[in-house]
Structure 1
Amino acid sequence: MKKNIAIIIGGYSSEYAISVKSGTVVQQHLDNEIFNTYNIVIGPDNWYHELQTGERVEIDKHDFSLSLPNGRIKFDCVFNAIHGTPGEDGLLQAYFELLGIPQTSCGYYQAALTFNKRDLLSTLKPYGIKCATSYYVNKGEEINTNEIVIKVGLPCFVKANRAGSSFGISKVYLGEELPSAIQKAFEEDDEIIIESFLHGTEVSVGVITYKGKVKVLPMTEIVSENDFFDYEAKYQGKSQEITPARISDTQYQNAARIAKKIYSVLKMTGYTRSEFIFQGDEPYLLEVNTTPGLTEESILPQQAREAGISLSELFESAIEEALK
Structure 2
Amino acid sequence: MKNIAVLMGGYSHEWEISLKSGAVIAQNLDSNLYKIYPVAILIDGWYYKNDAGTRYDIDKNDFSLSIDAKKITFDCCYNTIHGTPGEDGKLQALLELLNIPQTSCDSYQSALTFNKRDCIAVLKPWNITTGNHMYINQGDTIDEEIIARNIGLPCFVKANRSGSSFGVSKVYKVEEINAALETAFEVDDEIIIESFLDGVEVSVGAYQIGDKIKVLLPTEIVSENDFFDYEAKYQGKSKEITPARIKDENTKAVQQTTRRIYQVLKLKGLARADFIFHKGIPHFIEINTNPGMSKESIVPQQITASGLILKKVLTEIIENTIKYHIT
| TM norm. shorter chain > 0.5 | yes
Q: CA deviation at 1:312?
A: 0.6
1:206–1:300 CA contact under 8 A, matched in 2: yes
Q: Find the residue that maps to 2:153 and give its secondary structure.
A: coil
How is 1:121-270 mapped onto 2 (pairs within 5 angstroms)?
121-210=120-209, 213-270=212-269
Q: Which residue of 2 aligns with 1:80?
A: 79
- Specify whether residues 70 and 305 from structure 1 end up closer, same or farther in structure 2 by C-alpha distance, changes over 3 A only: farther
Q: CA deviation at 1:213?
A: 2.2
Q: CA deviation at 1:45?
A: 3.3
Query: Gaps spanning 5+ residues in structure 1: where?
Result: none
**Structure 2 Cα separation of the partners of residues 94 and 49 of structure 1:** 21
Q: Which piece of structure 1 moves more, 225-234 or 305-314?
A: 305-314
Q: Which amino acid aligns with 1:154?
A: L
Render the CA deviation track for 1:140-175: whole Å, top value 9, x for unaligned: 111111111111010000000000000000000011
**Structure 1 Cα separation of the partners of residues 211 and 20 of structure 2:** 27
Q: Which residue of 1 aligns with 2:47?
A: 48
Q: Which residue of 2 aligns with 1:19?
A: 18
Q: Which piece of structure 1 moves more, 16-25 or 248-257?
A: 248-257
TM-score, scaled to structure 1: 0.97
1:211–1:317 CA contact under 8 A, matched in 2: no
How many positions carry a matched residue from both structures?
A: 323
List structure 1 segments (4+ residues) > 4 angstroms apart after TM superposition: none
**Structure 1 Cα separation of the partners of residues 295 and 23 of structure 2:** 10
Q: Which amino acid aligns with 2:269?
A: G
Q: Find the residue that maps to 2:213 and give its secondary structure.
A: strand
**Structure 2 Cα separation of the partners of residues 222 and 128 of structure 1:** 25
Q: Which amino acid aligns with 2:245?
A: R
Q: Which residue of 2 aligns with 1:271?
A: 270
Pair 1:71 & 2:64 matched: no
**Structure 1 Cα separation of the partners of residues 121 and 236 of structure 2:** 33
**Structure 2 Cα separation of the partners of residues 32 and 45 of structure 1:** 29
Q: CA deviation at 1:44?
A: 2.1
Q: CA deviation at 1:290?
A: 0.3
**Structure 1 Cα separation of the partners of residues 8 and 205 of structure 2:** 21
Q: Find the residue that maps to 1:208 and give its secondary structure.
A: strand
How is 1:292-303 mapped onto 2 (pairs within 5 angstroms)?
292-303=291-302
**Structure 1 Cα separation of the partners of residues 211 and 37 of structure 2:** 26
**Structure 1 Cα separation of the partners of residues 280 and 157 of structure 2:** 25
Q: Which piece of structure 1 moves more, 291-300 or 233-242?
A: 291-300
Render the CA deviation track for 1:255-306: whole Å, top value 9, x for unaligned: 1111111111111111110000011221000000000011233111111111
RMSD of aligned alpha carbons: 1.1
**Structure 2 Cα separation of the partners of residues 211 and 224 of structure 1:** 36
Q: Which amino acid aligns with 2:220?
A: E
TM-score, scaled to structure 2: 0.97
Query: Gaps spanning 5+ residues in structure 2: where?
Result: none
**Structure 2 Cα separation of the partners of residues 122 and 86 of structure 1:** 23
- Specify whether residues 212 and 301 from structure 1 end up closer, same or farther in structure 2 by C-alpha distance, changes over 3 A only: farther
Render the CA deviation track for 1:296-324: whole Å, top value 9, x for unaligned: 33111111111111111121111111111
1:250–1:281 CA contact under 8 A, matched in 2: no
- Specify whether residues 235 and 300 from structure 1 end up closer, same or farther in structure 2 by C-alpha distance, changes over 3 A only: same
Q: Percent identity?
A: 55
Render the CA deviation track for 1:60-84: whole Å, top value 9, x for unaligned: 0010000111511000000001011
**Structure 2 Cα separation of the partners of residues 53 and 279 of structure 1:** 52
2:234–2:296 CA contact under 8 A, matched in 1: no
1:212–1:321 CA contact under 8 A, matched in 2: no
